[in-house]
Amino acid sequence: MNYKSRKSELYHKETLYPDSLKRFTKRKANKGNYNLWILEEVLKGITDIIKVFDSNGRILFFNEAGYNFYKKTKDEVKDKRCFEILNMKEKCKDCGVEEALRTKKIIKIEKYFPECNKFMDCTYNPVLNHSEEVIFVVEQLKDITKRKILLTKIRESEERYRKIVNLSPEAIIITVDSKIVLANHKACNLVGTDYNKIIGENIYKYISKEFVKTAHRRMKQILECKKSKSISDYKIVRYGNTLIDVEISASYLMYKGSPAIQAIIRNISDMKRRLNEASKLQRKYIEGTSPIPEKLQLESLYMPAKTVSGDFFRLYKVNKDLVLGIIGDVSGKGITAALNVLAFFVLFREAILISYDPLEIVKILNKKIADYLSDNHYIAACCFSLDFKKNEARVAGAGINQFMFQKSNCNPQEFIVKGPFLGMFQDAVFDKNVIYFKEGDRFYFPTDGLDFIFNDDEIRKSYLKSHTLTEFITYLKAKLNNIINETGALKDDSTIIALEIKWFWRIDMKSNEFVLYGLSKHKQVIDKITAELNASKYNFDIKLILTEALTNAFKHGNNMSMDKPIYLKYIYDDSNVQFEIRDCGTGFKDTIINKQLDNENILEDRGRGLFLIKNLSDHIELKQNTLIIEKSLAS
């Protein structure tokens, strides 16, 4: 607004001497006789340079700071024009006084004074009378030299920083309030755009949708905690909507006075591809099915913290009554860990050629691994055996020292098996536990990524007792996925094998196995079985069942070849018998067992055998190339 004498206002919110000047300008300027001497007295204490001009643009007076700046006295400046006191022959092209007199508006100009090497902010305030005529102009000069020098240094520093950033072999961006404020050439090339397009863009535009929530949470955490380094993997979207895998190392910094995040971005697409290949290879060696499914149910969870895990497990069938298992954790991550796991499996196979006892296996592995691994690597493991003839489990610990055993329909118990990491000490001492099991009992062997289950009362005291193994693994998987959603990643590889005993050896059980080539001796074998079962009441049924089953295996499975074996075994517990007949065929594909036979087809071979077996048995199962038959022999 303009300053008018009828309101006596020389005050303006952007001038830097409001309090002093206001005291004067609140007085009325009457009839052209202005109390300039009062104004002059008021302005003496102002530290900025003040010059007052009449309506003709001639100097009336300066304040004390003005006289000192120009090194002039009042008499030397009185009635002079501004350019005259600077020993100039003509006025400046951008004379603020003349512009204020002409426009009757406040004028602001930034000027450089080469005579004293100073930058000044110049403000020209016209004061008007009640007739809207300018009666004088007040000029204020504020020294901004230091600020200009500082801004110049900042710009030069930013330019040097930008040049250094552009020399970096990695892509670098800086974001403020999620907006990209700086990006080097590598970053522009990475996303497939140029500098002018990427500056000012929201960073989340370049992050794949499934990672946006995680990225937002991590960036918020970096800003709140002023983290110096946070490394995470993401997928980013390039121009053209193609995706690439990247690793981002993000750090907190101040940029132009604002909290910011510097992100160093590395393209890891090739490395990810190699890791995925290594992961596929690694998973081939992770056996997720039970080696003896009729006796042992196996459920497992295998969730790497990264693409490739250091965790591993394996179960081996030694014979029909003995299973050896091991679960472990190799130190390190990535391809090195994967290679160490594969090497460990080789050593484990060599160890079980020497002994089937878990404690002895652990001792053998300890000596071999001490020579194989470097000093800064280790292997934690837990080895166990399940002997279905003795109903006995043996467990030896080496770094993985906790497991749980749950009796059928009871809460699980935690067991400790002491022992250091494999390869840590040549003469290490390891401990073992012996547990006797029955049908329905369970074992749980986790790695350290899941050791929280030992302290989770909900899992230990209620969940495991009332849920199946499959439900438990599904529950754990959901729990880990929640952790990933909340924090972005698992802290460690998470693996567990859960085992449930489906069958155990009773003292009064009988069993035997036979191998036949053709049918020349099948009658003698059947007679031997009926004699061993000693259930004369069912001899006819058993002989007919086995005759039809063996004939079916010979004709349809082995194509009547005398060179192909037929495997026959039975298990009898004094009340129930189970037969297994396995041939060398391709299996019972699309086989349908007739519910009844017509009179005209009663003597036909095809379909009659399985029909008779089903009707004389309590249960039959066709499993690949094996026929499983169950029959009650209770009196």
Beta carbons of 450 and 476 less than 8 angstroms apart: yes
pLDDT of residue 594: 63
Region of residue 499 (left: phi > 0; alpha: psi -120 to 50; beta: else): beta
pLDDT of residue 298: 94
Q: Which helix (H) or strand (E) holds 455?
A: none
- 529, with CB counted inside 10 A (0-12, 13-18, 19+), is buried
Q: What is the token pair recorded at 324?
A: 């050896």
Q: Which helix (H) or strand (E) holds 241?
A: none
Spell out the long-range contacts of 250-254 with Cβ–Cβ below 8 A and sequence spacing 24 or more.
250/218, 250/219, 250/222, 251/222, 251/227, 252/222, 252/223, 252/225, 252/226, 252/227, 252/228, 253/174
Q: Which residue ranges of the chain lie beneath pLDDT 50? A: 1-34, 599, 601-603
What DSSP designation does 24 have?
A: H
pLDDT of residue 635: 64
Domains of the chain, start order: 3-143 (3.30.450.20), 151-267 (3.30.450.20), 285-501 (3.60.40.10), 510-632 (3.30.565.10)
Q: What is the token pair recorded at 153?
A: 């240094």
Residues with Cβ within 8 Å of 37's Cβ and at least 6 positions away in sequence, in order, are none
Beta carbons of 52 and 139 less than 8 angstroms apart: yes
Dihedrals φ, ψ of 309, to 5°? -100, 155
What DSSP designation does 505 have?
A: -
| Spatial CA neighbour of 493 closest among 273, 268, 330, 269 | 330
Strands 413-416 and 494-501: unpaired
Distance CA 390, CA 217 (A): 54
What DSSP designation does 184 have?
A: -
Distance CA 261, CA 174 (A): 6
- Is 400 strand, coil or helix? coil
> Among positive and negative, which fits the CA dihedral 203, 207, 212, 218?
negative
pLDDT of residue 361: 95
Distance CA 502, CA 293 (A): 8
- Biggest CA–CA distance in the chain, Å, is 144
Beta carbons of 25 and 8 less than 8 angstroms apart: yes
Angle at 403 between CA 398 and CA 409, to 5 degrees: 160
Q: Which helix (H) or strand (E) holds 443?
A: strand 442-446
Distance CA 98, CA 104 (A): 10
Q: DSSP of 418-430, one letter per residue?
A: ----BTS-TT---
| Spatial CA neighbour of 96 closest among 57, 50, 45 | 57
pLDDT by residue (tens digit) across 48-67?
899 999 999 999 999 999 99
Q: What is the token pair recorded at 185?
A: 């050439």
What DSSP designation does 33 have?
A: B
Beta carbons of 42 and 22 less than 8 angstroms apart: no
- Gyration radius of the chain over CA positions: 46
Q: Which residue blocks in 168-302 are alpha helix, DSSP H?
A: 185-191, 195-198, 209-225, 269-284
pLDDT of residue 13: 36
Distance CA 545, CA 469 (A): 35
> Among positive and negative, which fits the CA dihedral 351, 357, 363, 366?
positive
pLDDT of residue 277: 76
CA 599 to chain CA mean position, Å: 68
pLDDT of residue 154: 66
